[in-house]
Structure 1
Amino acid sequence: GQQAKATLFMTLLASYGALLHRYTGQPEMIIGAPIAGRHQRETEPLIGYFVNVLALRLNFQSAPSFQALVRQTREVVLEAYTHQDVPIERLVEMCRPQRISDQNPLFQTTFTLQNMPQTAFEAGGIQARPLELDTGTALFDLRLEFSVQPQNRLAGFIEYNTALFERETITQLLGHYVALLQSVTAHPDQALSTLLSFIHARPQEMPPTPLQAAEDRLAQRRASLSARRTKLSADQLALFEKHLRGNKE
């Protein structure tokens, strides 16, 4: 990502998008990216939930190489940042997408990189530490999240809808993601199709476009969608940490 003047977030997002492109065959994809929504100094000390979600559209047909995809991703992200105050609800009103009752109307997957380390701290004699909450409900089909830990370490997990995916499929997806990141780090100018050629994804492994698969997916879904998280292994995270050290923002 350094050649394209891209951040770690942009590089990991481009890799994630490319992987989903290979699995689904979709020429373009919209990925949601939560953003803190505190870019104005007045909001920094306020207590409250200011998070908005950016809808980032990536086009893989216009990116002959991974480097080109990263450059495109950078432009898309920076453009989205300039409009980050537009609520996602307003964007839905403007786009008027076809609705499916239990789906987000714009995207079914999100990607997050938490830049602030979530560490334990003590205040006034009280010790506090981050607590992971498992709601048991999948808000999206897939949610990939990383957080930067002390000493530039990374922790990550993928949350998935168990009505749509088997654990084996998600484990394979993560393995492909790590292998792809390793390949693009070594050969960023290589053709995207070449970098993705090692993945022999069958069409049924990942859902096609939401509209194409609406009836089948609605039949599979339960009233309350269950979620399961799979954490990245120590070996997988070691690769990301190496990448992080070489691509500090």
Structure 2
Amino acid sequence: MSAETFDLTARDETWVKRVLPVLKLVARTYFRSEVRGMDKVPDGGALLVSNHSGGLMAFDVPVISVAFADEFGADRPLYTLAHDLIFTGSGKQIFGKVGFLPAHPKNAVAALRSGAATIVFPGGEWEALRPSSQSATIDFHGRTGYIRTALEAGVPIVPIVTIGGQETQLFLNRGDTLARILRLDKFLRTDTAPFAFGFPFGLTAHLPPNIPLPSKLVTEVLDPIDITAEFGNNPEHDEVDQMVRKRMQHALDDLARARRFPVLG
């Protein structure tokens, strides 16, 4: 099944309700997650635009999903746009049942026009695998497609920021040079292959993934952005993107200043 024809009905509400208690246990107990402002997400279709943290085992998706279900109930659909690789093999059935969609514009627009909230991480693996020294930095790697998606679907953007993910292990570099040498952009569609230090494998280069440390994850949902109301009917996408990232960076800076210790929060 191609990304362009992925079926929204693959999401299984019964399956979601079975998985949510497990995700909640991990989010609330292991990562001591704290989510503020989820009530700001408006009714109907809304594009949730978030920074991405935590490497190959990023847990910002479960944290946001649990908080969303707590606020609106598991009956309200929430879709997550994700890398094609997770849909290989049995991943298509497993992740499709809990609302994951290949990160293709047609999938995003279809989900949003159906009235569902949809999460996108514009920075993708580039941001999730950034050095720990840049944990409080918003970096979408120049990707602005989410602006076109929101405009085409006619929905607001809801920015979300999370801090703590880059403390689940010590990411030493981004590894973009190594990724180019290994041609990972061609084989895995990734521009990064960072060296990271964690448990139980110690120093690794991308793989195998270490078990995340129990870093406290703090998430804040910002006020919705009506693009046409703020920028008119023919907005410059770069200008909108700059504004979105500026607001997210300001909020992330506030979370970073309030954080007293790495991992502990």
Which interval holds the TM-score relative to the shorter structure?
A: 0.3 to 0.5
Question: Which TM-score applies when normalising by structure 1?
Answer: 0.34
Pick the structure with greater CA Rg.
Answer: 1
